[in-house]
Amino acid sequence: MAHRILIIDDEPVQRRLLEAAVTRLGMKAIAAAGAEEGLQALAAGEPVSAVILDLVMPGMDGIAALQAMRDRGFAMPVIVQTGQGGIDTVVRAMRAGAFDFVVKPVSPDRLQQSIGNALKLGAASADQRRQTRRNAGTLTFDDVICASPRMQRILAVAAKAARSSIPI
């Protein structure tokens, strides 16, 4: 299954450049034009491996979006980017939970390195959370790892049946 990278940036040109770069890396890019749209995409329930988040946006800025992600329980690594790379901005972003920080325009090599590191961290964190749930005896359908589309459909049906109160 290809990694899904959510790109949240209000600048259409920058968003398209990042989408193209992520696609060239063999990953699926999901684009959102602002923080609210990005949070809706995360809430939709499709798995996202990492987020690339612009810090300076109208409405909800990147720091507020990052805090909202953490408040809502989204634990995937977030790479923040901005055209204003001051040290105070970097510190605020990292304190809010950012995994990495890149300055626009980011080079393809730097982007690849940052996404690669984020995916490694995300996989390690997911394994750790899964192990914690296994030890507590609280595994869910989300903990079942499968790549086959058929098996994914079977798990989706099983999860839907588990939520139902209709006897089987």
Using DSSP's 3-state secondary structure scheme, residue 151 falls into helix
Q: What is the largest CA-CA distance in the chain?
A: 59
DSSP 93: H
| pLDDT, tens only, 55-89 | 989 999 899 999 999 899 888 899 999 887 678 88
Report the distance separating Cα 72 and Cα 39, nearest Å.
9
Contact 76, 97 (CB under 8 A): no
What would the two tokens of residue 118 be? 């984020």
Report the distance separating Cα 123 and Cα 59, nearest Å.
32
Query: What is the sign, positive or negative, of the torsion defined by CA atoms of 71, 156, 49, 119?
Result: positive
What pLDDT does 92 receive?
85
Number of H helices, E strands in the chain: 6, 5
C-alpha triplet 141, 143, 145: angle, nearest 5°: 100
Report the distance separating Cα 12 and Cα 135, nearest Å.
45
**pLDDT by 10s per residue, the chain, length 168:** 578 999 999 999 999 999 999 999 999 999 999 999 999 999 887 888 999 999 989 999 899 999 999 899 888 899 999 887 678 888 888 888 888 988 888 888 888 999 988 888 766 555 666 666 677 777 666 666 677 788 878 878 887 777 777 776
Contact 51, 69 (CB under 8 A): yes
